[in-house]
Amino acid sequence: MSDLANMGILSILPAVLAIVLSFLTKNTIVSLVIACVTGTLITGEGLTGKIFGFPDLLKSSLGTTDFAWVMLLNTFIGILVAYFQKTGAIQSFSQTIHNRNLSRKGAQLMAWVLGIFIYFSDSFSPLFVGSVMRSITDKAKVSREKLAYIADSTSAPVSVLMPITGWAAYLMGLAVGVGCIVTQEDASNLFLRAIPFNFYPIFAVILVGLIGSGIVKDFGPMKKAEKRAMEEGKVLRDGAVPLIGKELTEMQAYPGIKPRVFLNFILPVLMIVTIALTTYITMSSAKTMEAFLFVVIFMTISMLIQKIPFKEVMDTLTSGVKGAIPAIMLLALAYSINALSKTMGTANYIISVSEGFLSPALLPAIIFIVASIMAFATGSSWGTFAICMPIALPLAFEFSGGELTTIVIASFAAVAGGGVFGDHCSPLSDTTVLSSTGSASDHIDHVKTQLPYSLVCGALAVVAYLIIGFTSA
């Protein structure tokens, strides 16, 4: 597909079309297909000899290392969830919690704490929290929408605040060489100093705790979903389509197997955490996907030793892969629309529209808003970081005379927080998709119920950046 630097207002049409149709039709896959086809027509593909613009888009956007990584990670997690269920580990763990008769409040707070603990991977966290807590929250009559919200709001928002994650390393790398940020140590110092100014993820994580504890009452569509779950016992609305295969939601434990929660659940999770953190410390890159592959192999051997027949183990593995397919399909189309947005210059257009509003006092707030819109339209926080950071930081240093001032630190944080905010609201985001998958929630229902909470935190973040801007400029 040809490289079109900037198509003006037309560049936002595919993303806007995908988002609007998703809400109207409640079918995200069809909406994304229509948006992708529309985008290929706008760019001229299909009109000048290339009648297969959409397949070409799929080939170019899916044949990348990034998509291969998220696809494999999603597949391995699907296999592990299937293994956890076939060995009876999740059922046994859930039963232990069930025996404690957790209240609705207790179930929500447990999911919140679990999500914060699994901070090293924003991809694993929502899948893990949703899969582990689903039966527990179902029993407590907590809606799947609420579980998806908790899982989503403790994934990327927590990951972007921690200095020992891939998010931190990526953001630090983008800052090196800008202004007085010369070395990796300078970038690390900037990241640490920016954490208190990263308002959106801080507010998002705190709000989950306040909502889960009942200090802040549910509002908007989530209030309706929770009322349905409490009064009718329906954790999903009538007609909802959970974003997960039945292979993972209806799998039973192998008959006669002895539940070994530590061996078949806790130990594999500890192995993943240990490998991810150790490789990050020693290699400056958390090998999360490799950790999952290692644990899949470990559990395959372990299940055979526990006398589960080889055919049963392979059938379980296959079911895990099948269960992950709905999410992989949606991620594939989301990656395609993101690639199309990049080709059409969506980010360039959004930035060009905002340039006339910049001033030292308004800079952090404007940067946050621009990053949010960009991430929402593209569904990619990391793509937003890559585009916004090289523009936002030099502007901040220019306004600060080259010194590392509060405005610079807040602007760095605004890019990070804005990317997470937009990504958090977007139905095109991979973490939003994975949260719906892990929680077995209808995807659009998850987006609709989470959006008001995200907007509240986003609005508070804008106010905070305005205060910082006007008191520091």
| Predicted model pTM | 0.71
183 three-state secondary structure: coil
Please state the length of the chain. 473
- Residues 60-75: tens digit of each pLDDT: 777 777 678 768 877 8
- Residues 380-415: tens digit of each pLDDT: 787 777 777 777 887 788 778 888 899 999 999 999
Question: Hey, how many other C-beta atoms are within 10 angstroms of the C-beta on 401?
Answer: 8
Cα distance between the two ends of the chain: 44
Q: Which range has highest mean pLDDT (48-52, 140-144, 178-182, 325-329)?
A: 140-144
Assign 286 a pLDDT band (cuts: 50, 70, 90).
low
Q: Which range has highest mean pLDDT (19-23, 120-124, 196-200)?
A: 196-200
Give the least confident one: 43-47, 61-65, 241-245, 373-377. 43-47
Residue 178 forms beta bridges with which residues?
A: 181
Asked whether residue 198 carries a pLDDT value surpassing 60, the answer given is yes
- Residues 178-196: tens digit of each pLDDT: 778 887 678 878 888 999 9
Asked whether residue 356 carries a pLDDT value surpassing 80, the answer given is no
Average of per-residue pLDDT values in the chain: 82
- Residues 441-460: tens digit of each pLDDT: 898 899 999 999 999 999 99
- Residues 94-108: tens digit of each pLDDT: 677 767 777 899 999
Q: What secondary structure does DSSP assign to 71-108, as a single string?
A: HHHHHHHHHHHHHHHHTTHHHHHHHHHHHTT--HHHHH
Residue 242 forms beta bridges with which residues?
A: 442
Assign 355 a pLDDT band (cuts: 50, 70, 90).
low
